[in-house]
Amino acid sequence: MELHGKSIIGSKTAISDGSRSFYAVTAATGEKLSPLFHEATTAEADEALSLAEVAFREYQRQPADKVAAFLDQIGDEIMRLGDELIQRANAETALPETRLIGERTRTVGQLRMFAELVREGSWVEASIDRALPDRKPLPKPDLRRMLIPLGPVVVFGASNFPFAYSVAGGDTASALAAGNPVVVKGHPAHPGTSELVARAVRAAVEATSMPAGVFSMLQGASNQIGLHMVRHPATKAVGFTGSLNGGRALFDAAAARPEPIPVYAEMGSTNPIFVLPGAIKKNGNSIAEGLIQSVTLGVGQFCTNPGLVFGRQDENWKLFVERAAQLANGTAPGTMLHQGIASRFQEGAGILEAIPGVSLAGKSSVAAGKGCAPALVFTTDAKTFQERNALREELFGPATVLVNCGSIQELEEIARTLPGQLTATIHGTEEDLLQYENLVAILRPKVGRLIFNQFPTGVEVCPSMQHGGPYPASTDSRTTSVGPAAIKRFARPVCFQNFPDAALPVELRNKNLRNIWRLIDNQLTRSDG
């Protein structure tokens, strides 16, 4: 499929008017990749969002089985792209083809998961409280409540997941599943990949006869077009995965609108690991091996990368640090997603190494080439960690900081002062957990996911997964961006009072035509109302 390098606005391809343009480049060498990509203009963004606003009127009324068929069709169209999609993503991101094939499977699986969720239908949380006209002193009205879609959603593609968190990733899939049109801002680090997937989504729109404006994808290398999309009055919610600075800028722009809207931004985390004395004595070597594998997986370019490790300073901790450093020394540098990320990693590592009291204990022994990052293991003590804010900030890449603590009290004090996180991990024995039970209590309100004797990298797509956490990990710790519960970010409750049965949404009518779970007079049932 020949790429055209332009935005996709509803059923048409944008016509370039000489606005800003840019090339994709190979992550490994910086070589330009054809074609030339044209950044969407504000007029084109306005057109895409106006089309989405019109499409919403029809799309929100589509039967559930038709929406599900649309989601399934998107998955089919993505698979139909075959090797071309994998090869283009590999060139633009340097991610191995095996990783990309797995990520494509996850992306299509997410689409099919939401298709099944929509077909089953209980996600709308239908609740019925029947009238009690004879109740004294006042009669009770008939009240029926369910979730409905918000309206057009703007989604920002992520650099580190060109499929699963991008054009047809989890945010897009969950927003479409809830009944919302989507306008995607493609990531400039992989614009060719974005175009291919966007064309697959458009093919699915046509194959299932969905309204044309239900999906658009805008290209762009600058921040201005994204901010314009967030500020557009048709936009009703935003999904974002990326940096703290980027997510906060979008959040602030959305809050400053005449009509503020929710921004569901997942902005990363240092994902602290606490290695307790019993575990390090019993399994120090294997924990060190698992740590370095986790830190360097995908060249450390995961939002769940463990960037901080805390432990009690003793002889076993010393051996653990030495082993982790040795493993880092033997790990080859890896090519990062793009030159900008590699430059920021190098700059951030330099800042850490220059802090008095911080030592570089381990580093890939092979020199890192252009666009590559070595594995890094830094060490410091609790006092230095508490005094230097730079040590608390995420260094996106294959690096971690091991912090020596002198007592339980120091570990607990550090845990109290940590900002919100996506995850926190504890490695310990059952005896450790008894002795350090207060540590678990301190960590629980600070994270979205608590992990025991495993590592945070790897996010299972299932109903029990929570991917989000207190700020600055995300902008709304009550929601998840992974799993079926993600659909609820793009829906809101509405109550119907005293409506005739025939005028109600099918999910709230007396006869349970969809056989969904409903709360009727405070009893969960699939019975008729």
5-18, pLDDT tens digit by residue?
Answer: 999 999 999 986 65
> What residue type is assigned to position 105 of the chain?
T
CB atoms closer than 10 angstroms to residue 458: 10
Fold agreement (8-13+20-267+480-488, 273-452) = no
Averaged pLDDT for residues 488-492: 98
Half-sphere exposure in the Cβ direction for 241 (13 Å, CA): 28
Q: Is 266 a catalytic residue?
A: yes
CA separation for the pair 171, 188 (Å, rounded): 18
Architecture of domain 273-452: 3-Layer(aba) Sandwich (3.40)
CA-to-CA distance for 489 and 2, rounded, in angstroms? 36
Task: Report pLDDT for 18.
Answer: 58
Across 214-228, average pLDDT: 95
Share of the chain above pLDDT 70, in %: 99
The closest alpha carbon to 275, from 70, 146, 424, 74, belongs to 424
Find out whether 333 and 371 touch, Cβ atoms under 8 Å.
no
pLDDT tens readout for residues 428-454: 999 999 999 999 999 999 999 999 999
pLDDT at residue 80 is higher than 90 = yes
Burial of 434 (0-12, 13-18, 19+ CB in 10 A): exposed
In this structure, are residues 116 and 462 in contact, taking their beta carbons and an 8 Å threshold? Answer: no
pLDDT at 1 over 90: no
Residue 342 is predicted with a pLDDT of 93
pLDDT at res. 17: 63
Q: What is the pTM of this model?
A: 0.96
Told to judge if 372 belongs to the known catalytic residues of this protein, a careful annotator would answer no
Give the mean pLDDT of the chain: 96
CA dist 39 to 21, 32, 437, Å?
Answer: 6, 16, 53
Cβ within 8 Å of residue 395, ≥6 positions away? 307, 345, 348, 349, 352
Is residue 102 exposed (0-12), middle (13-18) or buried (19+ Cβ within 10 Å)?
middle
Query: How far apart, in whole angstroms, are the C-alpha atoms of residue 144 and residue 498?
Result: 8
The span from the CA of 243 to the CA of 518, in Å, is 39
Q: How far is CA 394 from CA 38, 345, 398, 519, in A?
A: 32, 10, 11, 43
Identify which of 306, 337, 303 has the alpha carbon closest to the alpha carbon of residue 481.
Answer: 303
In the numeric block, which tokens belong to residue 492?
């809101």
Instruction: Determine the Cα–Cα distance for residues 240 and 387; give it in Å rounded to an integer.
Output: 31
Please tell me the distance from the alpha carbon of residue 287 to that of residue 323, in angstroms, as a whole number. 10
How confident is the model over 10-30, as a mean pLDDT? 86
What b-and-e string marks burial along 223-252, b requiring 16 or more CB atoms within 10 Å of the CB? eebbbbbbbbebbbbbbbbbbbebbbbbbe
272, two tokens:
């602290």
Catalytic residue among 195, 303, 372, 405: 303
The mean pLDDT of 397-414, rounded to a whole number, is 96
CB-based contact 24:33 (threshold 8 Å): yes
SS3 call for 282: helix
What is 8-13+20-267+480-488's CATH number? Answer: 3.40.605.10
Domain positions in the chain: 8-13+20-267+480-488, 273-452
Mean pLDDT over 230-235 rounds to: 98
Distance CA 529, CA 234 (A): 36
pLDDT digits (tens, 9 = 90+) for 504-516: 999 999 999 999 9
* Residue % of the chain over a pLDDT of 90: 96
**pLDDT (tens digit per residue) in 309-357:** 999 999 999 999 999 999 999 999 999 999 899 999 999 999 999 999 9
Check 39, 266, 410, 507 and give the catalytic one.
266
- pLDDT at site 529: 81
pLDDT at position 214 over 90: yes
